[in-house]
Structure 1
Amino acid sequence: MQALMTDTAPAPPAGISARYLITLIGLAILAVLHLNLGMTHWTPAHWSLQPPAAGSLDALEFGLSVLPRLTMALLVGAALGLSGSVLQQLTQNRLASPMTLGAASGAWLGLTATALLSPTLAATHGHWAALGGALAAVGLALLIAGRQGAAGLPVILAGMALNLLLGAIATAILLLHNQQSRGLFIWGAGDLGQIDWHWVQWLWPKLLIGLLVIALAPRPLTLLQLGATGASARGLSLWPVMLALFLASLWLTSAAITAVGLIGFIGLITPNLARLFGARSARDELLYSALLGALLLLGTDTLTLALNRWFSELIPSGATAALIGAPALLWLSRRQLAAEDRQSLAVPSGAGLLNARRLVRLLLAGGAAALVTLLIARGPSGWTFGWPTEALWSLRWPRLLAAIAAGCGLAVAGTMLQRLLRNPLASPDILGLTAGATLAVVLAVMLFGAGSMQLIAPIAAFAGSLVVLGLLLLFGHRHHYSPGIMVLVGVSLAALLNTALQVGLTRGPADALALLGWLAGSTYRVEAREAIALSGGVAVLVAISLTLHRALTLISIGSGVALSRGLDVPRARLALLLLVSLLCAVVTSLLGPVAFLGLLAPHMAALLGARRALPQLLLAALLGGWLMLVSDWIGRSLLFPLEVPVGLVASILCGLYFLYLLIRQRGK
């Protein structure tokens, strides 16, 4: 995996001192822009290198808001840049960072849960909760990837999957406590805004560990470049040193997240830029990554302040960082992955071919499980057994019908994607189609208001999923749509789009509250006519998909075989991809995003013996509807009288299976 750390660009002609001098000059220029843009009443005509006059309101704002924000951007950027450099040098993986290893989402989940369960503890010792969450997430990602996978794509896939899963759990916690968690949505998107020096004074002592890392880490990191055997032969105690450096790196990340929330991608980009600009030694890379991290985050926050002036809205700094960082991840993934990272990934082998007897058993088992969800319920008096009353049934049947229809639609969409791309990890959410549809709907609501959501949501969702699909095909063409590359590109796009969703949640109380339940994949607001329309649309699209099963079979075998059988491959592939986008749009426009279900249902169908296209489509549709039905029952019964949205329950259950699939792949 040494290719991951190989520098493809030549060292710049300027020496080390010139490189640092140019960067410091850039920092000074950005600091002046940042200080001026941070002032509320200053216009370009009033910009100055001098602070405002003492005793004025401008002076108060400058001293308690503008300067602390500038200082916070420098501290957090340096911490994240240094943390990313340590992680990349430890793993010898250019794509490693707190975000891609799952540390950021783990820290967010740990701190969010602590903040809601014990606000006092979170206020005084929240960084320990963040550190615990980050350690658990990174440890799990490394466990899934194994020693051989830590330097390549497996650990990145595991970390990004953990990002999606832990993010779904954190969102579930926030939605269950939406009255207390309104501010956490802004914090979760990464907010550098300050009202005094409290958080700066809290943060800087905790970042002093970074000085120890810069002083003591270069020699161990240099020896690690020789490999584990070479480092041990030169007297390095490998595991204690690696553990200490991992802890130091995650400590820097956790402290920064506690202070300002999630700021992604800084730790990914800065070490790569440091090497690109000529940093060759371990110490030089650590120092220059910290400096570039401060520069990059300050520039990002300067852009955020400019956008806030232009749009007169609160745009979190983390969203702006994602707009820069996600394309950088795509660029790095296309150029830095080694050849062995593009190998095919396979679904675990299952039972023999599906026969009539097994199909009847499956139908009976599914019907019995569905009947149980109808007869067993939890109410004010506890668990009850019996058919729902007429009044309760009139409220319940629309959501049940919507859940079944959504599960069928997403399962069929996932099956077609996996066969079209010959990628067992493909699904509408993992490849970013659901995120594209969701963001498009949010933007439409922000432009036209929540009252027009029912009218414009399907069109906007279809357009959003089509845009993401086009980007996927564009980025994947160079690597022949290999499974690992497509998943990484899709997850990168999803991370970018999901970060942009945070802006919609912070725009205004009315629009944000109207979107909260929908963004979690909710059925409890579905009306009868909406459920009927959804089920009718899904039924039509699934029926069309079934009629195209021959084309799907031939394309999944190979384009050459399909052409030899007389199939117009480009037209058939376009038609099938449009069907996938339509299915995603129809489901997402009503229920919101539902993650991982489009991955799990096709796998379950294949494991149960449905190998051919037509049986797999049919069985996956039945299993998808059953999974959503069970998820709806769990969501309304688990924490009664609170309801967990069905999309979040399905995301958590199916996300656990995705991690299991990665673990099994490691065993192979």
Structure 2
Amino acid sequence: MDVSSTLASLARPADNTARRYLLTLLVLLATIVLYPSLTTPLTFQQQGQLLLEYSSVDFDSIQFQLSVLPRMAMALLVGAAMGLSGSVLQQLTQNRLVSPMTLGTSSGAWLGLICATSLSPAFAAEHGEWAALGGALGAVGLVVLIAGRNGIAGLPVVLAGMALNILLGALAAGILLIDFQQTRGLFVWGAGDLGQIDWLWVNWLWPRLLVGLLILALAPRVLTLMQLGSQGAQARGLSLWPMMLALFAASIWLTSVSITAVGLIGFIGLIAPNVARLCGARTALDELIYSTLLGMLLLLLSDGLALLLNQWLFDLIPSGATAALIGAPALLWLTRRQLAGKDQQALVLPEGALRISRITCWLLPVTICALVVLSIGINRNLSGWTFDWPSSLIWSLRWPRTLTAITAGSGLAVAGVLLQRLLRNPLASPDILGISAGAALAVMATLMIFGSSYFWIKAPLAAFVGSLSVLGMLLVMGRRHQYSPSVLVLVGISLSALLTTALQLGLSKGSADSLALLGWLAGSTYRVSGVQAVVLSVGVLLLICVSLVFCRALTLISIGDKVGLSRGLDVPMARKALLILAALLCALVTSLVGPVAFVGLLAPHMAAMLGARRVTPQVLLSALLGAQLMLAADWMGRVLIFPLQLPLGIVASVVCGVAFVALLVRQRL
């Protein structure tokens, strides 16, 4: 197709544009009219009188004037900002899966706000939007650096952004726990809270969103020319990079000020532009305006769902959680239906040595022994740093933690090896694929339904069922794309977001059992008893030995199904057995320690970089490396902020996540 025909097709409006806008506006107006009835007993006639008079002083009228109306206005403003921002980002990158959430801007802005609140509360209160903007720009810069110029239009930029979301979320959680006194008001805010008590935040937000009008005025021509490609746009006088940077900065500004006002609201920026295109938006201006309207409608509907759930559960349900309930299935649908051929590429990690050196064979066991001595002997107390053998009481508390960290790290690392080899996916791991989230949700449901009696007997079985269920969903949803590595990872991330939201909804009921799970969900070893540590160690050791028995089958499957069949291997049966083995490892560790991110992803790649190319050496080396990572993380969590402690899961996620991002950046550079 030549340039003139391309421009003509882009400029040709849809036949039903007026009808589409009219229908959307009618639905939006109906939602606005019905919205106040979710929170106030006032009739429509009374609401109309209050809008005209605005002078009544009874409780219902005050609630309507200072809570319901500001909340509705905030939902409309933030929804418009998120929809417009997502449309700009998707048109700039020509990538339907890009949004403020999948690019890492939301988590970056959130981390910037938390850091500013912790370091300078006065600055955060007055100018928090600049801290959010700095964090968002840093996250986007890192994501673009990882994905590279050729990866912006495909899945690499999305995968990098979602991996960075996990890392930045762990960093934010760690800061929240370390500086609890300064940041304790941010917990609900972090889940996305549209609740208002006056018009203060609405009056603060709307002037800062006027940048959106500038985008609507200047962006359509730029975005239309960019659809011709960089050479075609530059041939028509477009200064490509300055305009791209300006539009990127403007869209990130909309996200940053929205997060400053209401916290994290995910998925709206992803869904609205895609729905706009499905409904017939063809030109750049049409998509921008229609995405803005749909963002307002979607967030208002999500907040209405949150209010209905509040009435049913008699507790606070954050609006961000209900937005995720809508957005995560939408991301699953987009993953299966809307991916193009260029989206099948995956991130490639750097290669290392071709064979394991003798120094490595000797160094790893020595390092584990040194870390055990470090974990047990070197500690902090009120007198400072000490190095001595602990007393009998301290020893009885410390050795179960040390043994649990070693075996948990080994189990997650071997599970990562199995998943990466089975799915032929270098990004597969229990946390990235959502298996850990499925196990955690099943454990929480078991605790809330059956109570805490015999919990540590029920938890492993529940976690296994949850892990296996997620694996089954992954295989069913990935069949359409022949189990493409990138597609499976994105499906796993979507499932993880959905399961995590369900987890938040369960915890929001605030029962004693659900609140007891908060520490476990962060990943911890300090409550593990000696008996539990021994049971976990024996179970993980047996499962690792079983995985070594399947090394030949795993080698043939990782090469290709046809190779395995030609060698007489029952590939479907072997794959099912190995998937069950990976689920058992994940379930056993998660049921006792809680969900831990990045260990199962990083350790297999570290082993491969050290020269473990065959299955057996990679399994053994990954187990040793996973044990080292978890042991070091457990010790750091115990001594970094003495006398307080950081949960093992947060420290391990930060340490391993930073190392993983460093590997990706190294590959790009």
Shared fold by TM > 0.5?
yes
Q: How far 1:459 sits from its partner (Å)? A: 2.5
Alignment partner for residue 593 of structure 2, among 568, 591, 594?
591
Matches within 5 A, 1:263-662: 263-343=265-345, 346-354=348-356, 358-449=360-451, 453-508=455-510, 510-511=512-513, 513-662=515-664
CA spacing shift, 1:49–1:613, aligned 2, 3 Å? farther
Q: How far 1:590 sits from its partner (Å)? A: 1.3
Q: Secondary structure at the match of 1:526?
A: coil
Match of 2:29 in 1: 28
- Contact 1:27 1:295 (8 Å CA) reproduced: yes
- Contact 1:191 1:318 (8 Å CA) reproduced: yes
Query: Alignment RMSD, CA only?
Result: 2.5
- Contact 1:32 1:49 (8 Å CA) reproduced: no
Q: How far 1:287 sits from its partner (Å)? A: 1.0
- Contact 1:345 1:665 (8 Å CA) reproduced: no
Q: Secondary structure at the match of 2:427?
A: coil
Amino acid at match of 1:105: S
Match of 2:178 in 1: 176
Q: How far 1:439 sits from its partner (Å)? A: 2.1
- Contact 1:114 1:126 (8 Å CA) reproduced: yes
Match of 1:234 in 2: 236
Q: Secondary structure at the match of 2:528?
A: coil
- Contact 1:74 1:297 (8 Å CA) reproduced: yes
- Bigger mean CA offset, 538-547 vs 440-449: 440-449
Amino acid at match of 2:600: G
Amino acid at match of 2:494: S
Instruction: For residues 472-494 of structure 1, give each alpha carbon's deviation from its aligned partner in whole angstroms, at most 9, with x where no partner exists.
Output: 11121111222211111112222
Q: Secondary structure at the match of 1:522?
A: coil
- Contact 1:189 1:261 (8 Å CA) reproduced: yes
Amino acid at match of 2:92: L
**Alpha-carbon distance in 1 for matches of 2:576, 2:523:** 28
Q: How far 1:642 sits from its partner (Å)? A: 2.3
The percent of aligned pairs where both chains have the same amino acid is: 65
CA spacing shift, 1:28–1:340, aligned 2, 3 Å? closer
Amino acid at match of 1:32: V
Q: Secondary structure at the match of 1:29?
A: helix
**Alpha-carbon distance in 2 for matches of 1:130, 1:233:** 36
CA spacing shift, 1:247–1:167, aligned 2, 3 Å? same
Q: How far 1:297 sits from its partner (Å)? A: 0.8
Amino acid at match of 1:157: L
Q: How far 1:63 sits from its partner (Å)? A: 1.1
Amino acid at match of 2:540: V
**Alpha-carbon distance in 1 for matches of 2:15, 2:46:** 29
Q: Secondary structure at the match of 1:383?
A: strand
**Alpha-carbon distance in 1 for matches of 2:48, 2:402:** 62
**Alpha-carbon distance in 2 for matches of 1:383, 1:270:** 55
Amino acid at match of 2:33: V
Amino acid at match of 2:282: R
Q: TM-score, normalised by structure 1?
A: 0.93
**Alpha-carbon distance in 1 for matches of 2:77, 2:349:** 45
Alignment partner for residue 79 of structure 1, among 69, 81, 88?
81
Match of 1:156 in 2: 158
What is the number of residues matched between the two proteins?
657
Amino acid at match of 1:300: S
- Bigger mean CA offset, 298-307 vs 496-505: 496-505
CA spacing shift, 1:443–1:646, aligned 2, 3 Å? same
- Bigger mean CA offset, 381-390 vs 162-171: 381-390
**Alpha-carbon distance in 1 for matches of 2:220, 2:97:** 20
**Alpha-carbon distance in 1 for matches of 2:118, 2:562:** 57
- Contact 1:145 1:154 (8 Å CA) reproduced: yes
Amino acid at match of 1:222: T
Match of 1:16 in 2: 17
Match of 1:88 in 2: 90
- Contact 2:14 2:282 (8 Å CA) reproduced: no
Amino acid at match of 2:543: L
Amino acid at match of 1:353: R
Amino acid at match of 1:106: G
**Alpha-carbon distance in 2 for matches of 1:70, 1:213:** 24
Q: Secondary structure at the match of 2:337?
A: helix
Q: How far 1:86 sits from its partner (Å)? A: 1.0
CA spacing shift, 1:187–1:476, aligned 2, 3 Å? same
**Alpha-carbon distance in 2 for matches of 1:399, 1:208:** 54
Q: How far 1:505 sits from its partner (Å)? A: 4.3
- Bigger mean CA offset, 386-395 vs 130-139: 386-395
Instruction: For residues 85-132 of structure 1, give each alpha carbon's deviation from its aligned partner in whole angstroms, at most 9, with x where no partner exists.
Output: 111111121111100100000011111222233333222211111111
**Alpha-carbon distance in 1 for matches of 2:305, 2:359:** 63
Do residues 37 (structure 1) and 38 (structure 2) align?
yes
- Contact 1:520 1:593 (8 Å CA) reproduced: yes
Instruction: For residues 309-331 of structure 1, give each alpha carbon's deviation from its aligned partner in whole angstroms, at most 9, with x where no partner exists.
Output: 22323221111111111121122
Q: How far 1:375 sits from its partner (Å)? A: 3.0
**Alpha-carbon distance in 2 for matches of 1:326, 1:554:** 35
- Contact 2:313 2:509 (8 Å CA) reproduced: no
**Alpha-carbon distance in 2 for matches of 1:477, 1:319:** 29
Matches within 5 A, 1:101-250: 101-178=103-180, 181-250=183-252
Q: How far 1:656 sits from its partner (Å)? A: 2.0
- Bigger mean CA offset, 534-543 vs 49-58: 49-58
Q: How far 1:497 sits from its partner (Å)? A: 2.2
- Contact 1:190 1:317 (8 Å CA) reproduced: yes
Match of 2:53 in 1: none
Amino acid at match of 1:159: G
Instruction: For residues 284-333 of structure 1, give each alpha carbon's deviation from its aligned partner in whole angstroms, at most 9, with x where no partner exists.
Output: 11111111110111111122222222232322111111111112112222
Q: How far 1:343 sits from its partner (Å)? A: 3.7
- Contact 1:186 1:506 (8 Å CA) reproduced: no
Q: How far 1:511 sits from its partner (Å)? A: 4.4
Instruction: For residues 568-612 of structure 1, give each alpha carbon's deviation from its aligned partner in whole angstroms, at most 9, with x where no partner exists.
Output: 222221111111111111111111111010011111222222222
Q: How far 1:450 sits from its partner (Å)? A: 5.4
Match of 2:58 in 1: 56
**Alpha-carbon distance in 1 for matches of 2:79, 2:345:** 35
Amino acid at match of 1:17: A
5+ residue gaps in structure 1?
none
**Alpha-carbon distance in 2 for matches of 1:15, 1:358:** 67
Q: Secondary structure at the match of 2:575?
A: helix
Amino acid at match of 2:284: A
Instruction: For residues 512-570 of structure 1, give each alpha carbon's deviation from its aligned partner in whole angstroms, at most 9, with x where no partner exists.
Output: 54223212111122222221222122122222222222222222222122222322222
**Alpha-carbon distance in 2 for matches of 1:48, 1:69:** 20
CA spacing shift, 1:325–1:344, aligned 2, 3 Å? closer
- Bigger mean CA offset, 362-371 vs 249-258: 362-371
Amino acid at match of 1:22: L
Instruction: For residues 442-488 of structure 1, give each alpha carbon's deviation from its aligned partner in whole angstroms, at most 9, with x where no partner exists.
Output: 33334445566434322222222122111111121111222211111
5+ residue gaps in structure 2?
1-5, 51-55
Amino acid at match of 1:587: V
**Alpha-carbon distance in 2 for matches of 1:648, 1:297:** 31
Q: How far 1:376 sits from its partner (Å)? A: 2.3
Amino acid at match of 1:27: L
